[in-house]
Structure 1
Amino acid sequence: MRLAANPREAVSAIRTAAQREIAAAQLVYGQLLLDGRGVKRDPVAALAWFERAAAQGEPEAWNMVGRCHEKGWGTPQDYRRAMPYFERAAALGHVWAKVNLAQILMRLGDPADRPRAYHLFEEAAGVGHLKAINSLARCLEEGWAGPADPRRAAVLYRVAAERGDHWAKFNLATLLYAQGAHDEAFHWLNRCIEKSDDGFRGRIAAVLLDHADGRLRAIGLDALARRAPCQAPPTSHEPEPSRWALLKRWARRMNPFKPPGRRTLSPPSLAAPHVHRAPRAFFLIRG
């Protein structure tokens, strides 16, 4: 209750705990600095706190140090420097680190790395990670780590799509469209537009609006129409709307008796990776 009632006091308490070498607090404080929530945004300082937490063996901190190098947060962007941190976090069982590492392996483009990336995605998909399930389907569809298997790819896309992953919905739609199942493809395109974010809507709208099929252009226009209008940032006297939720969420992370749970996966057998690639037919971007 203290964290929810007084954000400034909460940030101070988190900072104090971080300075006392409590790894969970260091991770939380680093995230606050990275996001600029309740404190001035400082990616360099955020990276330093993630490194301190990682030195204490915190898997999420190892993953976040990797993300900083991957994204260029507080340090020059460098995929290869990010990899050892993801490797360490993955070895400690961090599911997102497995996905992040696999994506970097695919982005670097060495075909020899594809089996490893496939295996990492498969492990993450096995505990219900939606992005990994989508990635497995993508590998199967494209034949990146073995023979192409569009049928199985479609099954996995459906698994992730029905659980809410908008890229899986889009990928399933592209597969169905290429196979001539246009009505079902339009159904999934409309669903992914309804339940996604503005960044996603903008990306797929640019592709759909450039297509010869007027029905696809109409869906692209709908995607643009659903984007929220640009809004000015809140003035200095207005609180950031998400600060309360962020502090409460990270406060829960500091409770060692409530670790985040893992959902199990119960679809057909899994097996294959993901990357944004140059797609088939009309789709120039894919998740």
Structure 2
Amino acid sequence: MRILCLICVVSLSLAAYAGESDIYAAGLAAYKAKDYPAALTDFRFAAQQGDANAQRNLGIMYDNGQGVPQNFSKALKWYRLAAEQDNPLALSDLGAMYTKGRGVHKDYAEALKWFRLAAEYGSAAGQDNIGVMYSKGHGVPHNFVDAMKWFRRSAKQNFADAQFNLGTVYDKGQGVPKSYVDALIWYRLAAHQEDPRAEVNLGTLYYKGHGVPQNYADALKWYRLAAQQGDAVAQYNIGWMYAKGHGVAQDYTRAAKWFQLAANQGYAKAQYNLGAEYANGQGVPKSYVEAYKWINLANEGGFRKAGPILPILASEMTASQLTKALHVAADRKLPAESGSEPPPKKKAGQRLATFQASYPQRLS
């Protein structure tokens, strides 16, 4: 099962309040259309007129590198200007910058100060992030009772991150008795707001039959919704289901397609399983160069089972193949090789990479 993790910063979403100027509204429309240059122009004009929402949104664009080079110092500047006008979202954003050490030195006490100010204005993001601080013991004593209190306050405002975090607490039994039924309730609420993490975890509850009857079709449905948003864990899980034939006809070619999507995002388990498919010639042409490339990347990504496979693969490769594999592993953008390679010489006691007999897990 995906190892669940609490968020430590609020997701950056655009603000929109009544009374916004026509220029600000135009900027908001341009942003939603991904016309970042136009959005930047309109937000900057409105921000210079003192519009706190525009100032905050400029901070978001510098924070994310949307239409401008990513610049945490400039993001911090615009967040501060909006926060000086008591914009609750900007207050929470400032706390997030101190939590992550973006543009400033990491400082949990300072982060908590800003989150509390945001919470005083009723910010759901601020409330949720205080809960995260208590759940992790960042700047405050570790206390899941207090974390739950803040998560619930935020979740009552229908804040998806808090709903996801409540699902996580119940799923893992952190400070409360483990309850898959309660986890299901909170994940579903967040998933209905298209939170991809909640969609994945909801799918995994259906996959394992936790809190609901086991249902691969429903698991696949939720994984696909998350995968459509580019979630690497969801992409990996779909590949896993095709590889195992769970809820779908076993299809290694489709499994490889989904593993590839997740592997391209740096997801180590997907890199390992994609390498296994190349090593075994399942769904892709057999290629020890590609196998070594992806399994080596998985090893570098911290997937412990990958390391012992590398010398086995290396022993089956020529010196030139190994050199090429090491070269392409350093450049993940290179496309996969076409064609297949000669079968390896079998050696006693050695076994090439195979699919892992464990449920999909999120490692970070």
When residues 226 and 12 of structure 1 are mapped into structure 2, their CA distance, relative to the original with a 3 A threshold, is same
Per-residue CA distance 1:222-244 (angstroms, 9 max, x = gap): 26449999xxxxxxxxxxxxxxx
CA distance in 2 between counterparts of 1:158 and 1:7 reads 33
| Equivalent residues of 1:193, 1:223 under 8 A apart | no
Which of 211, 214, 234 is matched with 1:168 structurally? Answer: 234
The answer for the alignment partner of 2:361 in structure 1 is 286
The answer for the alignment partner of 1:69 in structure 2 is 134
Which of 143, 148, 160 is matched with 1:83 structurally? Answer: 148
CA distance in 2 between counterparts of 1:7 and 1:112 reads 39
* Equivalent residue pairs, number: 232
CA distance in 1 between counterparts of 2:118 and 2:161 reads 17
Query: TM (normalized to structure 2)?
Result: 0.54
The answer for the alignment partner of 1:33 in structure 2 is 98
CA distance in 2 between counterparts of 1:107 and 1:144 reads 12
The answer for the alignment partner of 2:319 in structure 1 is none
Cα displacement (A) at 1:160:
2.1
Counting aligned pairs with the same residue, the percent is 22
In structure 2, runs of 5+ residues without a counterpart are: 1-43, 49-54, 63-70, 283-287, 302-354
The answer for the alignment partner of 2:259 in structure 1 is 189
When residues 171 and 209 of structure 1 are mapped into structure 2, their CA distance, relative to the original with a 3 A threshold, is closer
- Cα RMSD after superposing both structures: 3.6
Cα displacement (A) at 1:209:
9.1
| Equivalent residues of 2:152, 2:162 under 8 A apart | yes
SS in 1 for 2:213: coil
The range that moved more, 84-93 or 39-48, is: 39-48
The answer for the alignment partner of 2:294 in structure 1 is 222
**Alignment of structure 1 residues 220-259 onto 2, 5 Å:** 221-222=293-294, 224-225=296-297
When residues 53 and 220 of structure 1 are mapped into structure 2, their CA distance, relative to the original with a 3 A threshold, is farther
Amino acid at match of 1:46: A
SS in 2 for 1:86: helix
Cα displacement (A) at 1:220:
7.3
CA distance in 2 between counterparts of 1:72 and 1:64 reads 12
Cα displacement (A) at 1:177:
1.3
| Equivalent residues of 2:260, 2:274 under 8 A apart | no
Question: Is 1:120 aligned to residue 120 of structure 2?
Answer: no
Cα displacement (A) at 1:211:
6.6
CA distance in 1 between counterparts of 2:86 and 2:193 reads 31
The answer for the alignment partner of 2:324 in structure 1 is none
Cα displacement (A) at 1:74:
2.3
Task: Look at both structures and tell me which one has the larger radius of gyration over its CA atoms.
Answer: 2
CA distance in 1 between counterparts of 2:141 and 2:360 reads 26
| Equivalent residues of 2:275, 2:293 under 8 A apart | no
| Equivalent residues of 2:100, 2:106 under 8 A apart | yes
| Equivalent residues of 1:189, 1:219 under 8 A apart | no
Query: TM (normalized to structure 1)?
Result: 0.67
CA distance in 2 between counterparts of 1:80 and 1:224 reads 42
CA distance in 2 between counterparts of 1:41 and 1:66 reads 18
| Equivalent residues of 2:168, 2:183 under 8 A apart | yes
CA distance in 1 between counterparts of 2:77 and 2:227 reads 41
Per-residue CA distance 1:264-284 (angstroms, 9 max, x = gap): xxxxxxxxxxxxxxxx95246
| Equivalent residues of 1:69, 1:76 under 8 A apart | yes
CA distance in 2 between counterparts of 1:67 and 1:220 reads 39
The answer for the alignment partner of 2:159 in structure 1 is 94
The answer for the alignment partner of 1:42 in structure 2 is 107
| Equivalent residues of 1:204, 1:285 under 8 A apart | no
Cα displacement (A) at 1:60:
0.6
With a CA cutoff of 8 Å and minimum separation of 6, indicate the structure with the bigger relative contact order: 1
The answer for the alignment partner of 1:241 in structure 2 is none
